[in-house]
Copies of this chain bind each other. A is one copy, B any other.
């Protein structure tokens, strides 16, 4: 079994050109001495500049993506090579993380790394970066089961979900890498199933941590 976790439609992108001349962005760019096109869009810093941005509630939360990533990559299941993580972004970039790689826990280091990768689009040994829509990414992975996790899905408890996964060789689970809103129609189209694992809305990092733990427990038994 290799579980592919796709952090999908992630709120992780460089500042779009259209915001480059707005004050919140210009100030941040000066403060950091970095041009806007090399800076991660971050609601906590660029809030004022995002007011008219399309889908603004689904964008500019690199902090969430970071925590979600760590909640997967710090686990024995991941460190033993059973999980592969892909970060798919709102603007259809993919960061493919080599199995067992540990991304930086420190947010500043994570930010520098991701800014470099997204801007230069140059792979390193541990993280590949390329342009791909979700359906293109899934064509490459060729999963034998594709499940999206969302409040909008039918409720199924995590234990049963994991029983379903564990009979597969190369399943993919999509977790939304954003704070508000739901998967886009184009994402829903590529799924075999849409499942909700709790009656309460859960943060992506909580979903990811619980999924990995539940699978790990079953594999180790």
Which residues 180-201 in A have Cβ within 8 Å of B in the complex? 198, 200
Interface residue stretch chosen among A70-78, A90-98, A148-156, A169-177: A70-78
The total of chain A residues at the interface (CB under 8 A) is 26
Q: Chain B residues with Cβ under 8 A from A71's Cβ?
A: 71, 205-206, 209
Partner of A105 from the list B45, B64, B76 (CB cut-off 8 Å) is: B64
A71-B71, A209-B206 are known contacts. Are A44 and B108 too (CB-CB below 8 A)? yes
Query: Is A109 an interface residue when CB atoms closer than 8 A count as contact?
Result: yes
Q: Chain B residues with Cβ under 8 A from A202's Cβ?
A: 74-76
Complex formed: what's the CA distance from A44 to B64 in Å?
20
Query: Is A119 an interface residue when CB atoms closer than 8 A count as contact?
Result: no
Which residues 81-123 in A have Cβ within 8 Å of B in the complex? 105-109
Q: Is A63's CB under 8 angstroms from B106's CB?
A: yes
Complex formed: what's the CA distance from A206 to B209 in Å?
8
Complex formed: what's the CA distance from A189 to B211 in Å?
36
How many copies of this chain sit in the oligomeric assembly?
A: 2
Complex formed: what's the CA distance from A71 to B68 in Å?
10
Chain B, residue nearest A209 (CB): B209
A74 CB, min distance to chain B CBs, angstroms? 4
Q: Is A205's CB under 8 angstroms from B70's CB?
A: yes
Partner of A106 from the list B44, B105, B198 (CB cut-off 8 Å) is: B44
Could you list which residues of chain A lie within 8 angstroms of chain B, going by C-beta atoms? 42, 44-45, 63-64, 67, 70-71, 74-76, 79, 105-109, 198, 200, 202-203, 205-206, 209-210, 213
Given A67-B70, A79-B200, output 19 extra A-B contacts at Cβ < 8 Å: A44-B108, A44-B109, A45-B108, A63-B107, A67-B67, A67-B105, A70-B205, A71-B205, A71-B206, A71-B209, A74-B202, A74-B203, A76-B198, A76-B200, A107-B107, A206-B209, A209-B210, A209-B213, A213-B213
